[in-house]
Amino acid sequence: MDGMFRKVLGKLFLPLAGLAALLVYGTLTFSIIEGLDWFDSLYWTVTVLSTVGFGDITPRTLAGKVVFMSLAVFGLVLYGYILSSLTSVIAGEKLIGVLSEVFAIRRKVDLEGHAVIVDWNRLSRYIYEELKANKIDVVVVVREEELGRELAEEGKNVVVGSYTREETLQKAGVEKARAVILAQEDATDRLITLLKVKKLSKGAEIIVVSHEDEMEDVFLQAGATRVANISDIGGRLVASYVFEPNVAEALLDLAEAESGLDIVERRLPESLDGKTLSELREMGMRGLPLIVKRGEHKYYYPEPSFTLRAGDLIVLIGLREDLDEADKILLKAR
């Protein structure tokens, strides 16, 4: 709650400074005017300011009575101001949803071509790290304020709110996102969120993480672009460890972008239309072409003489540094 604490201190700095000034003022004046020692003067001041009044404070001089009344009046004003300020910070800000200011979480994301991950769990963390390794901006949507604060403090773009509310999804920028990944535990929650995203976004890839075989067709019929069955993927990988463990390790290596081998797909820009794979290699493209997809047709292990067309999808495998070199040709040629 450090963010909230700083917010409260900022709001109450002036009244607290005023309260301290009144303590000094009352202590000094009571000591001088009423002839009290410092401790008794402080006792009188605190008692008057707190409006407790034990009945043992009776100023003898006119000036002392004036000081007494001024302290009582200013004390009541300050307490009223402090109370209203606390109400404003704690209740008012929650009401208008300024979690973004208190916890450094964004009100609305101003990104384009980013990915949105709905819900945060162990799987979401792996998805996030892989997307960031591929230099894709990511926005995470969570329900819990405390979790949102923690993720924001880690430097992540976070939106807090109900997954099934259009307002929350709009704040995450789903209209301009390249992909929305639904990773909630509850299948009904995923389905409702899918329908909301489909309504708000016409171009985003909607990828639904599924744990249930029977829900795959439902998600696809509701508009999901792809359904990732985690049990299917994980089960096949675990089985590979039994009879071909090196293949399983290679698959994990390919799925992870930060080091070792990686596999990517790139779309051929118009400026390279008509080029062959060997010509691209002469231009400096590195990496091994596995597939060229043209429309619905796939060409596996294309020969160096294969002629490419604008819009072709090229699936490349190689070391991270090789694929970075390929990007200099395929991405910068646009």
CATH number of the domain where residue 77 is located: 1.10.287.70
Q: Copy the structure tokens of residue 295.
A: 């429309």
Whether residue 72 lies inside any domain: the answer is: yes
Same domain, 124 and 55: no
Quick one: 230 and 123 in the same domain?
yes
292 exposure class (CB count in 10 Å sphere: 0-12, 13-18, 19+): buried
Give domain status of residue 248, yes or no: no
Query: Does 65 share its domain with 173?
Result: no
In a shared domain, residues 217 and 269: no
pLDDT tens digits, one per residue of 173-217 = 999 999 999 999 999 999 999 999 999 998 899 999 998 888 989
Last residue of a domain, one of 61, 96, 131: 96
11-37 average pLDDT score: 83
Is residue 91 assigned to a domain? yes
Q: Are residues 214 and 264 in the same domain?
A: no
152 and 206 share one domain: yes
In a domain, 325, yes or no: yes
Are 201 and 263 in a shared domain? no
Q: Is 162 found in the same domain as 67?
A: no
**CB contact at 8 A, 78 and 44:** no
Classify residue 334 as exposed, middle or buried by CB count within 10 Å of its CB (0-12, 13-18, 19+).
exposed
State the DSSP string of 1-24.
Answer: -HHHHHHHHHHHHHHHHHHHHHHH
Half-sphere exposure of 169 (CA within 13 A, CB side): 24
Task: Give yes or no: residues 8 and 36 share one domain.
Answer: yes
Highest mean pLDDT among 8-22, 250-264, 268-282: 268-282
Amino acid 252 reads L
Q: d(Cα 332, Cα 334) in Å, to the nearest integer?
A: 5
Domain boundaries, position 286: 259-330
- Residue 190: enclosing H or E segment and its boundaries? helix 187-200
Residue 120 clears pLDDT 90, i.e. is over it: yes
d(CA 73, CA 59) in angstroms, rounded, equals 16
pLDDT of residue 102: 44
Q: From 36, 61, 96, give the residue that closes a domain.
A: 96
| pLDDT tens-digit map of 34-51 | 888 888 888 888 888 776
- Per the prediction, the chain carries an average pLDDT of 83
Choosing from 66, 96, 126, the residue where a domain stops is 96
Does 307 fall in a domain? yes
* Distance separating alpha carbons of residues 277 and 258, to the nearest angstrom: 26
- Domain check: are 41 and 6 in the same one? yes
Would 125 be classed as within a structural domain?
A: yes
Same domain, 77 and 140: no
The verdict on 152 and 224 lying in the same domain is yes
> C-alpha 224: how far from its chain's center?
23
Domain CATH for 295: 3.30.70.1450
What is the total count of domains within the chain? 3
In a domain, 44, yes or no: yes
Task: Give, in order, the Cα–Cα distances in Å from 167 to each of 12, 21, 45, 138, 171.
Answer: 32, 46, 52, 18, 6
**Statement: residue 93 has pLDDT above 60:** no
Residue-wise pLDDT tens digits, 54-73: 556 677 888 888 888 888 88
What is the pTM for the complete model shown? Answer: 0.57
- Residue 254 counted as domain residue: no
pLDDT value for 310: 93
CATH number of the domain enclosing 192: 3.40.50.720
